[in-house]
Amino acid sequence: MLKAVTSALAIPRADWDRLANPAGGAFNPLVSHDFFRCLEESGCAVAKTGWTPRHLVMEDEGRITGIVPCYRKRHSQGEYVFDYGWADAYERAGGRYYPKMQVSAPFTPVTGPRLLAETEAQRRDLASALIALCTQEEASSVHMTFLPERDWEALGGKLWLKRTDIQFHWMNDGYAGFDDFLASLSSGKRKNIRKERASVRNAGISVHALTGKDIAERHWDAFFDFYMDTGTRKWGSPYLNRRFFSMIGEAMSEHILLVIAERGGKPIAGALNFIGSHALYGRNWGAIEYHDNLHFETCYYQAIDFAIARNMPRVEAGAQGAHKLARGYLPQKTYSLHYLAHPGLQRAVASYLDAERAGIEQEQQALAAHSPFRQEQDF
């Protein structure tokens, strides 16, 4: 049996987490029930903001065997896989692009399972159910973004169009400490990072990495000020509200790394990260004072320090940002699948994506050629 429900709370937490983060596998906090519940209960991912929950649930003899976190959307904001051009072209041709169906963790450009099930056959059933839901909801399309390459390869084809993009991730090569990581870089990049970190210290700024019970409401107060100030200047309308941060602080504190920078005892900047079993996920940042290299220190170098200390395999630094390359973060592909109900739109987008994927492949190769890591002859 398949049904669509209107809240993450309508799905038992134990069933959601059993399928999203199976025992013995890698743990990703950004696909957990707590994360979705906090987004919805705080009022961030709800109908009022254009994210109407329509989560698919598959049952077999009363047991939940599959879940799809899915939203009916009336805009394309907060997704990080951009389809504004598709919407504009379709509507200029007389079509109606919105509503559409979005399968993702809202406001979160982090790869994770989207078809929560135990077997490939069950995931295929869920993908087929999404197409049926699209018809039922009178939506133009379904978009599964930042899903695992495994599902992208298995499902991609005529119905589900394949798209790629690039993010920058730092990989832990068994480093004993930050200096060990620096030793792996070319001399120029090594010297530049040392100068950047020193400039923050020389500005009288101290940086604190907080997790678990060390994170208090005053820290969330400060971080929300940073987030709103930077988000308003850059994007105009930040997606997350103050209640959301308190809620994740209560429900997920052991999976949170909150980096706070202070000058003269006053908090001036911060970065929010989520802690998985195999990755540290950089999510949001903000500042109320501008200082050279403060962004790099707070977001990138503190994340590397933490990952090395915890022996974590990688840091995923979020969307975009080729400037991350010079700081040890290498280009990695991300994957999405798209179903468009109108045959003409499907054909046009398929042709566009063929060219785009080739361009992404070339871009990744070009970026990799400028790796900051030293060659054998560079001592």
Classified by CATH at the fold level, domain 173-312 comes out as Aminopeptidase (3.40.630)
Looking at the DSSP assignment, which residues form a beta bridge with residue 271?
A: 259, 285
Contacts of 265 (CB under 8 A, 6+ apart): none
pTM of the model: 0.96
The label of the residue with tokens 């049926």 reads 132
Q: Where are the domains of the chain?
A: 2-166+333-368, 173-312
Kindly list the strands in the beta sheet with 2-5, ordered across the sheet, starting from the edge strand earlier in the chain: 2-5, 55-60, 63-68, 116-117
Classify domain 2-166+333-368 by CATH architecture: 3-Layer(aba) Sandwich (3.40)
pLDDT of residue 379: 35
- Nearest residue to 168 via CA among 334, 279, 353: 334
> For every one of its 379 residues, what pLDDT tens digit does the chain have, with 9 covering 90 and above?
999 999 999 999 999 999 999 999 999 999 999 999 999 999 999 999 999 999 999 999 999 999 999 999 999 999 999 999 999 999 999 999 999 999 999 999 999 999 999 999 999 999 999 999 999 999 999 999 999 999 999 999 999 999 999 999 999 999 999 999 999 999 999 999 999 999 999 999 999 999 999 999 999 999 999 999 887 766 567 899 999 999 999 999 999 999 999 999 999 999 999 999 999 999 999 999 999 999 999 999 999 999 999 999 999 998 878 899 999 999 999 999 999 999 999 999 999 999 999 999 999 999 999 999 987 434 3
* Same fold yes or no, 2-166+333-368 and 173-312: yes
